[in-house]
Structure 1
Amino acid sequence: MEGIVNFAVIGAGRIGRRHATMVVKNEYSKLVALTDIDTSVHEELRQEFGVPVYTTHQEMFKNHPEIHVVNVCSPNGEHAKQSIDALDANFHVVCEKPMALTKQDAEEVLFRALKRNKLVFCVMQNRYSPPAQWLKSVVDDGILGEIYMVQINCYWNRDDDYYKGGDPNYWKGKLASDGGTLFTQFSHFIDTMFWLFGDIKNINAKFYDFNHQKTTEFEDSGIIHFDFVKQGAGSINYSTAVWNNNLESSITIIGQKGSIKVGGQYMNEVEVCNIEGYEMPKLEETLPANDYGKYKGSAANHHFVIDNVVETLKGRNFVSTNSLEGLKVVEIIENIYRLKS
């Protein structure tokens, strides 16, 4: 593709605005239009971004055939349907996590992309952090030798305000529109696990709802054990019931030749690197977490996502997180949640 890459964004909440901002900042991309169902924010969005704002994505598609890429930043339960609509309109798609809430829906997105010869970029921006890039090289190069055990701990705070007190009209906390804690809060870390070690089998899990009975339709905590298909055993311990502040997002790897722990609140700090005959390199600084006021999320790496889209469409790179990888993350979470019934 030559020239400027034209983007449009569906859903102009916090994440949608971040996408729009990153598009505006990229010298090879242009923001064409925005969509948000909340008409009360339309004028504010027009003033901030200087583009038309629509209530429906269908209207936006009709009025802007010059679009090349549609960024789907709406509630989780809308991702698959809106991605399919964009693909059927002959646009590439950038889909915020998760790609879908079921493997079946993710497969339909993948099918439509192949049918239309379009690309789907799944947003897993944690892959771009320096510790994640370093971990990938260590694992892929076999520096740890055989992998014995992997443990992921994700302990965050999500209070009543996050779910707007269980407001029946708010999408977060609702099973159909949110999907659950693993989809909304921790899919980034399941993606990191899959990216590093591949698929899992022999899953066992227990789920708990400690302090979100009035605000969500699903668990706030879980303990999961499994085997990796390739080698080694793993576990995921997670909770959004932590008091006051996020506590930790970490991965500990025990291998034949050494051990690694990457921790911090957002899997952003190398805490342990103890490997036979290996000297830890100096890594670049990790970008701060996305700051949403009362709570924080994963690393603010969305500019890397937009850069990757532009560079891929110009034939200078490849998709950093493709639709098959996005599907596999959905499948892993679905397989874990299947144990609830």
Structure 2
Amino acid sequence: MLYFSLLGNGHIGKVHKQAIEDTEGAQLISIIDVASSSDESNTVFYSSLEEFLEKDAQTDVVVIATPNGLHKQHAIQCLKGGKHVLIEKPIALNSQDAKEILEVAEATGKRVFSSMQLRFSPPVRWVKELMENKALGKIYMVNIHCYWNRNKNYYNTREWHGSNAMDGGVLFTQFSHFIDIVNYWFEETKCTNAKFYNFNHQGITEFADSGKLDFQADEAVGSMIFTTSTYERNFKSGIEILAEKGTIEIGDQYLNEVKFFNVEAIDSESNHSTETRNFHPKAIEEIVSALETNRASALDGKYAVRLVEFIEGAHEIAR
């Protein structure tokens, strides 16, 4: 049994809380949050991280679900306090901070995991298998599209969202999973061109709400169009792959549906979609297994550094 504690009991914190409770071999034993209080007899509540680190002697993994801009500080405190950490994406808002987290982990003998749970989506893993088996031949193009809505009320009811220092922008907070999946599929990725636009969030956010990117993914060329200014509600999102021996589109907000595929030597009647939408329990299960067997994990923090470097590069090019 691995014992988990949760730092930050907001919206995403509650998602992690449920995931821990749904995972065999994992037990949530404490929650750290300035506003926390509960009648749950099996959960201890702390009003500060300092109090938790002083009093706790049982926790194996701290799940960090605080504002993006606090991830580095909180991760380092927990690592130095003798805990492994699972950091909600992004691991940090710049690559220097992300690398510092990993350096502290190495020095303390503890591990860093990042919340990149869409790596456990069956369609995502199926595409990775096709690539590894060379079933698609040469990959020509990878195109990402994300047309979402984040309205004024979204930012007004979440005080830290919208600032550069605590949020970091839509590539970090909304669309980082899509970039991470391309990183998961390819060995090397790099943004080569970027433009950002602010269509309808002027005076609401300190950053742009939309953009267009070009990138290189190994030998393939890629593009990404993204926005949070879609009218009224989310429209769609997905990734298309155009290759020598096939064409594939996977979609849905959680990349859990195969929208189209035409691949050489694969039956077009095959079904690679799934009704599963919440892959957070899969992430907790993976962390439990990786720690218990002392093996490498698809959620290891080094992969999260690649993600930050990609987004950081896009922002630098646009500036």
TM bin, normalised by shorter chain, reads over 0.9
SS in 2 for 1:223: strand
The answer on whether the counterparts of 1:308 and 1:318 sit within 8 Å (CA) in structure 2 is no
- 1:317: Cα distance to partner? 5.5
- 1:209: Cα distance to partner? 0.2
The answer on whether the counterparts of 1:308 and 1:317 sit within 8 Å (CA) in structure 2 is no
Q: Does 1:57 align with 2:54?
A: no
The answer on whether the counterparts of 2:8 and 2:66 sit within 8 Å (CA) in structure 1 is yes
Query: Which amino acid in 2 is paired with 1:156?
Result: W
SS in 2 for 1:163: helix
- 1:28: Cα distance to partner? 1.6
CA deviation digits over 1:73-118, x for unaligned, max 9?
Answer: 0011111111111111111111110000000000001101111111
- 1:284: Cα distance to partner? 5.7
The range that moved more, 213-222 or 17-26, is 17-26
The answer on whether the counterparts of 1:248 and 1:267 sit within 8 Å (CA) in structure 2 is no
Query: Which amino acid in 2 is paired with 1:163?
Result: Y
Measure, in 1, the Cα distance between the counterparts of 2:290 and 2:145: 33
- 1:226: Cα distance to partner? 2.2
Measure, in 1, the Cα distance between the counterparts of 2:190 and 2:274: 35
Measure, in 2, the Cα distance between the counterparts of 1:75 and 1:305: 20
What's the TM-score once normalised by structure 1's chain length? 0.89
Q: Does 1:103 align with 2:92?
A: no
Measure, in 2, the Cα distance between the counterparts of 1:235 and 1:128: 23
The corresponding residue for 2:312 is 334
Measure, in 2, the Cα distance between the counterparts of 1:206 and 1:182: 12
Q: Does 1:323 align with 2:301?
A: yes
Measure, in 2, the Cα distance between the counterparts of 1:251 and 1:177: 28
The corresponding residue for 2:58 is 66
Structure 1: gaps of 5 or more residues: 289-299
The corresponding residue for 1:268 is 256
SS in 1 for 2:154: coil
Query: Which amino acid in 1 is paired with 2:288?
Result: V
Query: Which amino acid in 2 is paired with 1:315?
Result: T
The corresponding residue for 2:183 is 194
Measure, in 1, the Cα distance between the counterparts of 2:294 and 2:101: 25
Measure, in 1, the Cα distance between the counterparts of 2:29 and 2:133: 42
Query: Which amino acid in 2 is paired with 1:308?
Result: E
Measure, in 2, the Cα distance between the counterparts of 1:136 and 1:49: 43
CA deviation digits over 1:123-179, x for unaligned, max 9?
Answer: 1111111111111111111111011111000111100111017x8xx1000000000
The corresponding residue for 2:206 is 217
- 1:20: Cα distance to partner? 1.8
The answer on whether the counterparts of 2:145 and 2:237 sit within 8 Å (CA) in structure 1 is yes
Match of 1:303 among 264, 272, 281: 281
The answer on whether the counterparts of 1:130 and 1:286 sit within 8 Å (CA) in structure 2 is no
Measure, in 2, the Cα distance between the counterparts of 1:274 and 1:26: 36
Query: Which amino acid in 2 is paired with 1:16?
Result: G
SS in 1 for 2:160: coil
Query: Which amino acid in 1 is paired with 2:39?
Result: Q
Give runs of aligned pairs for residues 130-279 of structure 1, distance below 5 A: 130-164=122-156, 170-201=159-190, 203-228=192-217, 230-279=218-267
Measure, in 2, the Cα distance between the counterparts of 1:286 and 1:320: 22
SS in 2 for 1:204: strand
Figure out how many residues of one structure are paired with residues of the other and give that number: 318
What's the TM-score once normalised by structure 2's chain length? 0.95
Measure, in 2, the Cα distance between the counterparts of 1:160 and 1:137: 41
CA deviation digits over 1:271-296, x for unaligned, max 9?
Answer: 211122222543362323xxxxxxxx
Measure, in 2, the Cα distance between the counterparts of 1:250 and 1:332: 19
SS in 1 for 2:107: helix
CA RMSD of aligned residues (A): 1.7
For residues 93 and 265 of structure 1, do their structure 2 counterparts lie closer, same or farther at Cα, with a shift above 3 Å needed? closer
Structure 2: gaps of 5 or more residues: none
The answer on whether the counterparts of 2:4 and 2:61 sit within 8 Å (CA) in structure 1 is yes
SS in 2 for 1:324: helix
The corresponding residue for 1:35 is 32
